Every structure is written in C-alpha cells, then in structure tokens.
Chain A
C-alpha cells in the first residue's frame, strides 16, 4: 500500500455543457513538498485544473482530495498567485499583505500582523517599498508582492497560474530564482502552470504534460532528474538538461497535437525520465515518438 498522496485529483471532468469536455477523467497525485509544473497549450484546461485546486471553479465530475479530504471551495490552506498579480490598488504593499494575514489570523494584534506581513515583504526583497501603492511598482515588484501575500498566510500549498508570463525575461529570471529559493527553504508544495519549458525544468520536480483540448488528457509525466540545488546559471551545463528540454519541446510541438491515446491508462499516465540516457519510458512501454528527437540531443 503506497502512502496516501498529499493531493489526489481523481477522475476530474470539466465540460462545456455539451458532450465535448475540456478534459475528462483526469488523475494526478502530488506529494508534500513537491514542485509540479503543468505544461500544455492554451485551451487544454490548465487554468481550470488550477482553479479547481484553488476551489474557485466548479468541475462537472470527479473530486480532489487533500490529506484524504475532499476539497470544498476556496481555503486559506491553498494560496493562489495570480497571473495578473491581482493586488488591490487602493492598498499599500503592506496593506495588501496584511489583508491576507488578517484573513488567516483574525485574532492577531495589529503589531503581530504588521510584523508577519513585514517579514514576507522582506523575504521577497521589497522591504523598502512597503508603503508604496501597487501603481508605483514595476510589474516584477507587483508580482513579488503577490508572492509575499500568498506566502504570508503560510499555506499548505501554493498554486501559481503562469505567474511570470507577463514579465520581461530579465525580471522573470530573477523571480524564478527567488521562487526556487523560497520554495526549497519553506518546503512548499507547489502546483504551477507555465508555457515556458526552461522555467519548468528549473523549478519543477515533475513536469505534467497535457495534450491539446478539447478532451485533453495528461499524456505523460516527466521526472526532472537535475539535482535539486540547480540554479539558472548552470542549468544548461548539466548533461540531462538538453535531453529533458528537447523531450518537452518535442511534446509541445508535435505530440501534444497528435497524441496517440490508445493504451493510455488515465489513472496512471506514463512516467518518463528523459534525463539519464535519453527518453526511456519507465512505465507502460511505448514506442515513443520522442525517439525522433534523438538526433537533436547532444552526445555525451
């Protein structure tokens, strides 16, 4: 008997109201402290899955268990970092974070609340901007506040919906580093949606690949075999990096569109480890189209 996963998505269904579904019978489990990235093209229902995890969207079937209990609506256990930061523009940075802290611990004194907010504003490196309004901040700084707000309530899980997609490349890189550091420090369980393959390889322990919608499925789960103490600077030097990267890109370009789902066990999608020695599927054997990606790999 395997230990009960922290999060267990079981047979999730989301339909458009007709016979065609966004996705159907979706299964995924997430362990505590794991960083999961979900990759897929627009329209495959990624955000719907995240919103279902957050409790913001209703689904049409299946359920999500957290610590063995079914999720019912939004909860302070699961903090969301929104793509568009979603800060309240009439509150200062401090006010925005304190708003969350007060929601989490309504009984706290003002001083305690302020200190908690302050600690997380400092954590994301915005100590000097605590009294500024969001409109006075750059896009990257706003997203940092969003991260501070989400972390300040000390959630059991962090949900991120393409948190860096609206930022320029330079800011994105810095923020990725910080999220990596903070999540490792706090042993945070994270579920993140991204379009960015490099971002996924940098941050995720496992990368979940979804086919295109409608009727999207989890095609494959890629295990990231890069060492956990990886950093953005030397990511590309690791021998596994390009193998994983090529595998992911090849999926996005090719297989996500024309995925052969015959023989796919939706409850246990194949787990691959393209890192060590090329894309060798571990579980259900599968003549992977990824083999075509071989010539692109660097030889070692």
Chain B
C-alpha cells in the first residue's frame, strides 16, 4: 500500500510540474510580440515603447517576472523614501499588522470563546450577534475605525482584529461547548477543580477546533490586509501593489501577487502544523 501511495504522490508531483511548465509556456507565447506592425509616428513610437512598434503585449512574460523576482529577492530591504521601499520591508509591515491584529484577536477570542462555550445560556444569547457580525466585510469597519482611532495603521490593525475575531470566537465557543460529556463527567467524578478542568480537559479536547478557527482567521486576515492597505496607503504589501499599478509596473504587481501567495501559504501551513500537533486520534 505504501508503494502505491508513494507512486501516487510522485505522479501528482509530476503532473503539477507538467501543468506549471505548460502554463508558463502558454503565458510566454501569449505575450510574445507579433513582429513589426504598421509604421507609426516615431514620436508616438518613442512614447509607447515596443508595445506599439513590435506588437509586444504590455503584459510581461514569465521570464520578465522571473528576472524581476530575483531583483526583488536579492535586495528586499532597501528604503529610498516613502514610495520606493523593498518588497521585504512592505511584506514586513503587512506581517506586523496581521500578527498584531491576529494576536489581539487571539487574546480576546480564546478567553471569551471559552466562557461562552462553558455557558449554554451565553452561547444562545450571543449567537445571533455573532451570526450578524460574522458576514460583515471587515473593510466596512474601516471608516468607523478611521473616524474613532484617527490613525491609518492602527485602523488596519483594527480591521485585521475584527476579521480574525469571529472565526476564532465561534470555533472556540463551539469546541468548548461540544467537549464530550463523558470527559467532563470523568473530571466531575474526580472532583477536578475548575482551572485544572479548563486547562487539562476542556482545552486539549477543544484544541483541534480552536486551532482550526485560528487557521481560518489567519487566512482571512492575510486576504484582508492587502485590501486594507490599498485603502489606507502608506506602507505594506497592499499599498505596494496599488503603487506599482499606478506606476504601470505590471511585472512588480505580478511579483507582489506571487509574494502574497507564498506568505499566505506559509502562514496557513504553520497553523496546519499546529492543528496536526494538537489533534488526537480516537
């Protein structure tokens, strides 16, 4: 069976590679120039560059992106003033905001979710509010945040906080509320104190659900930070994307997209590891 499994993994990896190469090839061919086009006014040609003279698409090809990817990667932390910072610095800003907002949400959602999960009354009483607040796009809070906090960076942290809060809160409350009754009964018959019960019975029992909530939250937070930074500007990977769009540097935009994807993958995988570590087979 292991042999079959290994060969499936291998075949899947091979197929992934083939698909990637195919995609890059199609991309490469699609943005190729069509050769010299009808003669144009030299002044106009000078203005428009090769996209006008050679029929070359304005969309960069994979090779352009790759070369600029290396440029970004080889010097990620340069700082030439507010509109020209290395992509590493911009990602750093975004990560700090995401982790701060996420961390604050953890600090609120875990204890609160625990209390709500322990009390069926609170669970029922608060559930309608959560259900109402959960589907609100976190960016809708932005004007309110800007008005009250009066600081754009703190406002984007607040938006991250609010979007990370609900999945964690709901999952924690649900996980705590649905701890198997028999484990609670074991703790009761052993006269286990409330703190020890919380940390040694409820918490480990609910941990997979709680961490899964965190995983959902960090994913949403990373999605939202890009949009939030586009909105408030200044620094961060979202601002970087918007700035490069204003520079009409599609190559840099594509690069940023790649980086956003990679960091998001990394964050998700870290939490996935954590979920796996606390999951117990029954």
Majority SS of interface residues in chain A? loop
Closest CB in chain A relative to B245 CB, distance in Å: 49
Closest CB in chain A relative to B163 CB, distance in Å: 30
- Of B112-120, B185-193, B212-220, the stretch lying at the interface with chain A is B185-193
Residues of A within 8 A of B182 (CB): 82, 84, 86
B190→A89 contact, CB < 8 A: no
Complex partner residue of A135 from B185, B207, B281, CB under 8 angstroms: B281
Q: Nearest CB to that of B185 among chain A residues?
A: A56
The residues of A with any CB-CB pair to B shorter than 8 Å are 54-56, 73-76, 78-80, 82, 84, 86, 88-90, 99-100, 103-104, 133-135, 153
Tell whether B204 is near chain A: CB-to-CB under 8 Å.
yes
9 A-B contact pairs sorted by A residue (CB < 8 Å)? A74-B191, A79-B189, A82-B186, A86-B186, A88-B186, A90-B280, A100-B190, A103-B191, A135-B282
Number of interface residues of B (CB under 8 A): 19
Complex partner residue of A74 from B183, B188, B200, B207, CB under 8 angstroms: B188
Tell whether B201 is near chain A: CB-to-CB under 8 Å.
yes
A55 with B186: in contact, given A90-B205, A133-B281 (CB under 8 Å)?
Answer: no
B189→A80 contact, CB < 8 A: yes
Majority SS of interface residues in chain B? helix
- With the chains together, A153 CA to B190 CA distance in Å? 9
Residues of B within 8 A of A99 (CB): 190, 200
Complex partner residue of B204 from A80, A90, A133, CB under 8 angstroms: A90
B191→A75 contact, CB < 8 A: yes
B188→A56 contact, CB < 8 A: yes
Residues of A within 8 A of B281 (CB): 89, 133, 135
- With the chains together, A89 CA to B282 CA distance in Å? 6
Residues of A within 8 A of B190 (CB): 74, 76, 99-100, 103-104, 153
Residues of A within 8 A of B180 (CB): 86
